[in-house]
């Protein structure tokens, strides 16, 4: 298991304190150090957007002092480090992922617009960090759907049958194993299938939805097989569902412990990191915490 810390980004807001509690439990499961980081923001137009060479002292930081009080006296807490940094959070937070196994933050901290469900700092971290980023939403998000078919701890992961990502699946399996939870795999396929013909052309044969669903499920099971072998203790329920992947994942987030989505790989003509529409929609609307997992680098 990685010895890198679990990092909780805090700013004194209720959102960040909820994320702190989630990070405490995550660090304990991983037997990892918990590093609590407060980024003191300064004006983006007047200062550099990188970490300062000599970070300010964590002692006497009122936000970190509040965290110390919050964690004092808890039983079986992980070892905790406190770090104060200065900079623009949207630039500093992603950099924290270079030496972390997990970066955890709230859905919106101080300074966020009330109309936004997810702050810009959270989006920047989820898009740019080198490690998986977990965003803990505010309680009370409403999602549509029937909810889980059975009670018990559950981790949800989205699988794109055309371009599966092993890093995302590996993280989801490992998280389910740590939580002794079942893993719900959702493989969505486009439906109805759009067909286009020029005037006078013969329409193609009708596509059989049952066949498409069966093929999607078979592809998904093939991609899952090596992960099942590494985690035989994890029960896996695979669902091949028609239509909108994001909608299915958001619906499945009700009463889930975590929803895991992958971040887009860089493309040749678009070298900048991208979030992906499914990941962004899940971040904005899921009721449970969401983990955004970066793709494996080509050399891996």
- The total of other beta-carbon atoms located within 10 Å of residue 232's CB is 8
Q: Please state the CATH superfamily assignment of the domain spanning residues 6-136 in this structure.
A: HUPs (3.40.50.620)
Q: Note whether 6-136 and 154-293 share their fold.
A: yes
Give the separation between CA 36 and CA 91, rounded to whole angstroms.
Answer: 17
H or E element in which residue 153 lies: none
Q: Is 115 a residue whose pLDDT tops 50? A: no
Average pLDDT, the chain: 83
Q: Is 212 a residue whose pLDDT tops 60? A: yes
CA angle, 296 as apex, 290 and 299 as ends, to 5°?
170
**How does pLDDT run across 136-175, given as a tens digit for each residue?**
998 888 887 766 668 899 999 999 888 788 999 999 999 9
Q: Cα 85 to the chain's mean position, in Å?
A: 24
CA angle, 182 as apex, 178 and 184 as ends, to 5°?
120
Least confident of 78-87, 111-120, 224-233: 111-120
Locate the domains of the chain by residue range.
Answer: 6-136, 154-293
154-293 is a CATH 2.130.10.10 domain: no
Closest CA to 296 of 128, 132, 167: 167
pTM for the structure as a whole: 0.84
Specify whether the CB–CB gap between 278 and 266 falls below 8 A. no
**How does pLDDT run across 35-49, given as a tens digit for each residue?**
999 998 764 444 444
Specify whether the CB–CB gap between 8 and 23 falls below 8 A. yes
Give the separation between CA 107 and CA 37, rounded to whole angstroms.
Answer: 16
């Amino acid at each position: 298991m990685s010895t890198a810390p679990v990092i909780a980004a805090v700013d004194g807001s209720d959102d960040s304190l909820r994320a702190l509690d989630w990070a405490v439990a995550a660090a304990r499961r991983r037997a990892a150090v918990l590093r609590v980081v407060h980024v003191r923001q300064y004006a983006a137009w007047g200062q550099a957007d990188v970490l300062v060479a000599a970070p300010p002292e964590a002692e006497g930081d009122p936000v970190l002092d509040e965290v110390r009080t919050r964690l004092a006296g808890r039983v079986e807490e992980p070892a905790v480090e406190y770090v104060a940094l200065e900079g623009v959070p949207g630039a500093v937070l992603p950099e924290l992922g270079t030496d972390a196994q997990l970066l955890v933050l709230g859905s919106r901290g101080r300074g966020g617009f009330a109309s936004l469900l997810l702050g810009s700092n959270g989006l920047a971290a989820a898009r740019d960090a080198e490690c998986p980023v977990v965003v803990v939403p505010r309680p009370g998000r409403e999602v549509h759907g029937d909810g889980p078919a059975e009670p018990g701890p559950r981790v949800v992961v989205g699988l794109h049958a055309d371009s599966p990502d092993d890093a995302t699946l590996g993280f989801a399996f490992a998280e389910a194993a740590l939580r002794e939870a079942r893993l719900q795999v959702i493989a969505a396929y486009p439906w109805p299938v759009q067909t286009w013909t020029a005037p006078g052309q013969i329409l193609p044969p009708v596509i059989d939805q049952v066949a498409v669903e069966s093929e999607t499920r078979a592809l998904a099971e093939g991609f899952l097989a090596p992960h099942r072998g590494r985690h035989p203790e994890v029960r896996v329920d695979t669902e091949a569902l028609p239509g909108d992947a994001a909608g299915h994942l958001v619906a499945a987030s009700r009463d889930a412990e975590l929803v895991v989505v992958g971040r887009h790989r860089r493309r040749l003509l678009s070298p900048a990191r991208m979030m992906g529409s499914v990941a962004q929609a899940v971040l904005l609307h899921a009721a449970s915490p969401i983990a955004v997992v970066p793709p494996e680098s080509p050399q891996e």
